[in-house]
Each structure stands twice: as structure tokens, then as C-alpha cells.
Structure 1
């Protein structure tokens, strides 16, 4: 699957840095033999190519951006399979278009699931509630049954029709751990309210209102019902909110975790690790 990950074209200190998914069909990435879980980075002027995990790739770009001296401003762009950089494209789907696309996919999942005989395959362990037809469809694409949908596994779904927003919608599902693949939790969460927007909770809506692959974008922490968790962190700042995302006065702190215990939140070790990664 050629997920159109958000990438960066940085004119930094006379160098153009191009970042694309590691398994993209471009000659320089193929030679570097980057895996589908890596990003392929090329410094165009020197033809230097490196393979890095997504987070390390973003740090690499940040470091180069910080060294910028009088060059062009960093631009968020998309890249196609031939790695030709283009500006944030004019055909970018709106949230309304993406949600309609999600609703149509859910209807298709239902139709296929109801027409198929036999017992549903047991799903991999997941924490997000998952509707039967959505979980069933995940299993159809999860060829190696590892609980994750890779780019190659999703390629037929994204390339199989003429719907212009399928690929972008599926790409947006990769938002809990932005790594180029979609976990069963990400898949279940992505389609939960796709055909029921009237009842979509505020945190779930905010999380799916943005492209998770854009550098520096804020992805709020949501509970299983789609409302805000009390502790939120982003770009070195942390604060406490109510379940609707409204920030509490004097709760904002820098470079440390907030004390939101008064709002009845019990942080797990996983929660603490997640929040610390955003400080």
C-alpha cells in the first residue's frame, strides 16, 4: 500500500531532504532496502540515502530544520510513488468527504460480512470495542494474522476502486502509533463512528480531524468512549481537561507531567510513557 504519509521537503542549508515510506517503489529507496516499517530519507544534493524508524526520521528532519539559515520555510507536502515532491495537493479530501468515505466503507463491510457464511475468525487482542463487520474485515486483510495491517496487505483495498478518498481515509487510521501500519485498535477506532457522525464524541472527532502524519500535529488522548482523558501533552506542555476537552485553569505545566489526580484519572505505566514522549 502506498500510504500517502505526510512528508517534508526541507530546503535546509542548501540541502533538500525528502522523506517517503520505506517500501515506496523508488529507485533510491529500493537500493537502500528500507523496510515497510522504516522511512526512506534522501538528501537530494548529495544523493545520500538512509533508512530510519518513523520517529527517528522526524527527529532527523527537525535537526536539519533547526540549522536552516535564510533558506525557504519548511513545507508540509505529499509525495507520490515516483518521489517527485508536490505541494500539499489540491485534491486533499475534506473531513466531510473522508467521513462519507468511511461510512461507505462500513456499509460495504456490512454487505460483504452478511453475505459470507461461516464463523468469524478470532481477532487478535484489542482494547477498543470493535463492531463485528469491522473486525471481520480486518481479518480478511490481515494475511499473516499478526494483528497489524501492513502497506502491502492494504494495497488491494486502496487500489481496487475509483474512490479518490479511500487511500487518504485509511492513512488517517494510523494515528495511535504513527508507524505506517494499522493495528487492530487503530482499525476498530477509525470506523467506530464512520457511519454515525451525529453521535461522534468530541475527542474522537478532534483526533480524526487532523492528519496524524503531519509533523507537530496535536493528537489528543481519548478514552474508550471517545471523550478526552484528563491528561494531555504536546510539544513540551501538559495540561488537564474535562471530558469535553476544556482546559482547567492553572493546570498547564512545562516539561513535566500534570497533576490531574483531582479529576479522577489513574495513569498506567503505558499512559506515563505516552505522555512523557510528548514532553
Structure 2
């Protein structure tokens, strides 16, 4: 697929023999090819990959110090770019040659198997309410970036306008980037996101709570996420105790309210049953939203197990 253009075809008369001119000056190669001068009369358009292979015999210095690999076959690995490499060394060499970061997605050939084991479910137990709330914020920011990039690239158009009243309501209540992402993921156009459609957000490696987050969106427990469920997932407020802690942190940063009572939160971001002043001088019982239960305030740790309102 390489092709050669003669300098004589482009320049009439004696100018064809002008050795001071680069024959590549008037040769335009396609996007993935570069022009290589053959003497002063011919120019060749050659693919960048082939050019790399031709340079290879010049030794490791030609690759900026990338280490060579043994020819003997070793254990294959699947790279984070979706390509199978005959060895870890080959993957590292390609990362060095291309000046990009590559990691091993799994051992063996691509694509990697998707784990569906009880061990994988155990990972979700590590995700607290605070983790899910924070992840929702990060995903929303990421969707916004994707939407802006798509706009710049001219591919940000949404599918046809929602037809039903429910769809119009969902589109109106969903934050722009969140609604935009739903439309991009809903390839079937049925206003539901199946597991395979959600799988397009391939962030498991970077966000260990991603599956737990999407499972929490599926409030109807039917194995798929509807448009209202998706919107609610990103609109939902953080748990009350966590929200109060964040408010206090902001106030303390601006030194507006020194000596503020700091509530005790459980791992899901709700109030612990027993709340105490600093030093434990006075304690009382509350419900999970922080409302004090009448008659529970006193000195020492109260028994809040039976004081639930």
C-alpha cells in the first residue's frame, strides 16, 4: 500500500535535477503515512508503522531507548488498548514506541472475560453511602466533559425529541449532561438501560463502586435502569448526616461558626443513634435523620437501641 511519486513527474525541465530541493515538498501523503525522500528525484509515501519496522534494525537508540524483546513466544496478555500482545515485554515496548501508557487488562487473548462471581459481589460491600454519593458527583462531571467534547467534535446531537409526556418530563427534570448520557447509552431507544448498555461505561478498573452505584439506581429491582431511575440517581441528595458534615466543613473553612457541634455519622452517611457533645458531657438519641428523640438527653452514653421514634 506504499506508493512512490517521481520528482520528474512534478517538475519540468532542468528543475528536476535540482538537488537543493526536497522531493517531499510537493508530495501530500494520506493521514497515516509520511513522505520519505529516495535520493533527490523520488519521494515515497510509507505507513508510519512500516517506517517504524524499517528503523528497528538500527537498535534500541532509534526507539528512544525502548528495550528489545526475545523472539521466543511467552505468555500473551491483553492490553488496556484492547490489543493482544505476545508478551508483557511486547506491551511495554509498544507503550514505549508510541509514548503512551499501556497496562495489562488480563492475561491471555483479548477480549477479557467479564467476572460474574460471588467474589466480585463482595467488592460492592465495601462501598458506603458516601462512596456512592461521591461517585455520582464524579460521573456527573465526567458526563459534562464528554458532552462538551462531543459538541466540539460536532457529534453531540441527541436522538429524536422525546415523544411521550413521561419522556418529556424525564428530559425536563434530568440535568443536561445526565440526560444526554442516558440518550447516548440507550442504544435500543426503549427508555431503559439494560446491563449491556450500562456496560459501555467501562470504568470498573478505576471506580470499584461503579456496579454497586448502578445497582442502587435500579430501585424497582427489575435488572434494568429506567430513565426516571437514572435521573434520580444523579439528582438524589447526599445522606443527611454527611450533608451536615460537609456544611460544617465549609463553615469552619470560612471561620463563620467556631465551636460547632459535629455529628457522628454511620458508614452510610446517616446519623448514629447516639450523639454526644465533645468530651461526652451530654448525650442524646436521634433518628437516622438527626431529629432528637424526646427524653433521651442526659449525662453519659444513652441506650438508644430501644429509643427509636
- Decide which structure has the larger Cα Rg and report it: 2
Answer 1 or 2: which has greater strand percent: 1
Identify the TM-score tier after normalising by the shorter chain: 0.3 to 0.5
TM-score, normalised relative to structure 1 = 0.37
TM-score, normalised relative to structure 2 = 0.34
Higher relative contact order, structure no. (Cα contacts within 8 Å, ≥ 6 residues apart): 1
